[in-house]
Structures are given as C-alpha cells and as structure tokens.
Amino acid sequence: MGVELVVATCLGGGLGYLGDRKLATLPWLTLLGVVLGTAAGIRNVLRIAAEMDRQREGGPRGPDRPGKG
Amino acid sequence: MENPLEHFELHRVAALHLFGLDVSINQGVLVMWLVVAGVVALFAHAAVRATMIPGAIQNVVEMSVEFIYNLAEDNIGPNGRRYVPFLITLFFFVLCSNLLGLVPGMFTVTSQLFVTATLAVTVYVISLVVGFYRHGIGFFKILLPSGTPWWLIPLMIPVEILSQLARPLSLAVRLFANMTAGHTVLAVLFGMTVTLPWWGGWIPFGVTVAINALELLIAFIQAYIFVMLSCVYFGDAENMAH
C-alpha cells in the first residue's frame, strides 16, 4: 500500500504547485499541498487497513455498522 | 545491451483516423482484443456446455465467480450482487492482461498507464454516480468524517478532498507500476543473459525464470487488489462509511 502514500503526496504537491504558478506565491501552496497530501495518504492507508481488518474478522458491512474515524 | 524499456513502447500496426482523431491500432489494442476474445471464449465454453458435474474450465470459472461474489457481498453489503458482473469483467480483464503479458514476446497492456487509468477512472466515476444517486446532495458529507471537532473542519475538508482524488490515481498507478517494474526487471535480466558469454548467461537466466514465477503470483495479486479496492470504493458510496 506504499503507492497510496506516494500518490497522495505527489497529488497534493502537484496541485499546490499549480496553484502557486497561477497566484505567484511560489513555495507556500506547494508546501501546504504536500502536507495535506501526506495526511490524505495516511488517511487512505488507515482506511484500507481498517477495511482489511474487518474483512479478516468477517464483520458485516452495512449502514449501521460501528463507525470508524 | 538493448534498452530494457523498449518493449513498453507502442508501435502502430494500422493507421486509422476518425473524425480528425488519431485512433491508429497499435499492438496494445491488438492484445486487448485478444484478451477480450480469450475471456469471452472462456466464459462461453463454461456457460454453453454447463453440466451438473462441472468440467475443469467450468469449475475454474464458477469458483472465480463465486469468489468475486463473496468479495462484493463482504465489501459492498446487500446490494453487492448488482456490481458482480462489472467486477468479474474487471477482474478477468486485468488478470488475463497480466498473464498474457508474461508470455515471452507478448505485450503487457496493464503496463500502460492509459489502460489502468481508464479502468480506475471508470471505477471511480461509477462510485461517485452511485453515491449521489443513493444519498443525493448529502453524499458530500463523505468529505467530513463524523465526530470531527469543529476547529478541525477547515483542515479535514481539504485532506478528504485530496484523499478522494488520490483514490483513482493510486488505483491506476499501483497496477501500472507493479507491471512495469516487474517486466523491466525481467527485461534487464534477460538482456544480461543474452549479453554474457556462455559460461555466465545461465545465472541471470535462472533468475529470470524465478522472477517470472514471482510475476505470475503478482499478476493474480494485482488483479485481486484492483477488484478488492473497487469493492471498497463502491461500498463507501453505497453505505457512506463516514
């Protein structure tokens, strides 16, 4: 699942860089984007890990199942 | 030694222009047709001559259909069976592309980012359509996990938007990168085999055989992961996991 982290970080950084190019604020949006992208990547990894956990335990999937952060 | 990335290049087989667009047929398109024809033939063979006591091919097909069926039911919930035809198509297309690519001299269509991205974007768009159809405008709540403290909201929404956007991208890149990396390793090792003199060539050749076996495993695992993650995304859209 390492791809998840790389892709999200690159996506955040890339979008930040595009925004920087448009607004001429060069380092700032890129930095913000990388940080947010990393957070998004970690979130995706955690989500998939929780999903796999649930699958191994054979828990039900439905609207009323206990929520995970 | 020849360029180990050369076999990823697309070569035009037949030039074709339609409505001002270049839709020339390259060897990737030919292999995709071959994959589709092979999968259709496999299923037709299993379905047309279906017997009470399944033969070898019918057995394999029925087992994999059941496998995907369970995967969908586990991950998506009671509505999972509606996705089974799409998921089976996806699984067999990816799997057969991966396996066919392992035949020496064949082209691996899943090593093209365009192919994997098309599949991933299709999956993601379907999950969005299902989400908005099931939950209406309330589907935007997926961007705000329940139980977020109010002072985290300005931070969580951009993070969630990015994590949503990263989904189709990572789905596409995972399959593409795994296939490209594996086939590059194979090409490098095989290049060594050809380049070394007779007393040394057998070492990289042995490793090539071993890596090919590993790639066989990866072909199955990647097809499984692709379909499993598609199930997870569909499940999120169906049940609003947050």
Tens digit of each residue's pLDDT (9 = 90 or more) over B191-239: 888 888 888 888 888 999 999 999 999 999 999 999 999 998 898 888 8
By CB neighbour count within 10 A (0-12 exposed, 13-18 middle, 19+ buried), where does B202 fall? exposed
Task: Please name the member of B170, B240, B241 whose beta carbon is closest to the beta carbon of A4.
Answer: B170
- Average pLDDT, integer, range A28-43: 91
Q: Does residue B1 lie within any of the structural domains?
A: no
Q: B212 near B103, Cβ under 8 Å?
A: no
CA distance linking residue B228 with residue B60, whole number of Å: 19
Q: In the numeric block, which tokens belong to residue A4?
A: 């998840």
Chain A residues with CB under 8 Å of a chain B CB are 3-4, 6-8, 11-12, 15, 33, 36-37, 39-41, 43-44, 47-48, 51, 55, 58, 60-63, 65, 67-69
pLDDT bin (cut points 50, 70, 90) of residue A65 is very low
In chain B, which stretches have pLDDT less than 50?
242
Q: How is residue B165 written in tokens? A: 């956007």
- Could you tell me which of B140, B139, B143, B166 has the C-alpha nearest to residue B154? B143
Determine which helix (DSSP H) or strand (DSSP E) holds B172, and give its type and residue range: helix B153-195
Q: How confident is the model at residue A59 (pLDDT cuts 50, 70, 90)?
A: low
Element spanning B121, H or E: helix B113-135
Is B76 within 8 Å of chain A by CB?
A: yes
Q: What band does A24 get if pLDDT is binned at 50, 70 and 90? A: confident
Q: Is the pLDDT of residue A58 over 70?
A: no
Q: Has residue B174 been placed in a domain?
A: yes
Q: Is the pLDDT of residue A60 over 60?
A: no
Give domain status of residue B65, yes or no: yes
Which among A3, A65, A67 has the least Cβ separation from residue B146?
Answer: A67
Q: Which residue has the tokens 């296939």?
A: B179
Is B214 part of any domain?
yes
0.80 cut: is pTM over it?
yes
Contacts of B145 in chain A (CB under 8 A): 69
Say if B120 falls within a structural domain. Answer: yes
Closest residue by Cα to residue B93 from B71, B113, B108: B108
According to the model, what pLDDT value does residue A63 have?
Answer: 46
Lookup: tokens for B183: 């086939």
A48 contacts in B (CB within 8 Å)?
229, 232
Give A30's contacts in chain B (Cβ within 8 Å).
none
- Give the pLDDT score at B88: 93
Q: Where are the beta strands (DSSP E) in chain B?
A: 12-14, 17-18, 21-22, 25-26
Residue A51 to residue B80: CA distance in whole angstroms: 16
Return the pLDDT at B48.
81
Residue B133 lies in a domain: yes
Q: In the prediction, which pLDDT does B129 show?
A: 93
**Residues of chain B with C-beta less than 8 angstroms from the C-beta of A43:** 159-160, 163
pLDDT for B24: 79
Please tell me the distance in Å from A38's CA to the nearest CA on chain B: 9
Does residue B51 sit within a domain? yes
Structural domains counted in chain B: 1
| Contact between A11 and B74 using a beta-carbon 8 Å cutoff | no
Domain with B72 in it: 6-239
Alpha helix ranges (H) inside A1-69: 2-23, 26-57
Residue A48 contacts residue B167 (beta carbons within 8 Å):
no
Touching A: B residues 11-70, CB under 8 Å: none
Residue B166 to residue A48, Cβ atoms within 8 A? no
In this model, does residue A14 exceed pLDDT 80? Answer: yes
- Classify residue B196 by its DSSP letter: S
Kindly state whether residue B31 falls inside one of the protein's structural domains: yes
Would you place residue A68 in the very low, low, confident or very high pLDDT band (cuts 50, 70, 90)?
very low
Contact A44 B166 (CB under 8 A): yes
**Rounded CA gap, A11 and A48, in Å?**
19
Q: State the sign of the Cα–Cα–Cα–Cα dihedral B230, B169, A10, A39.
A: negative
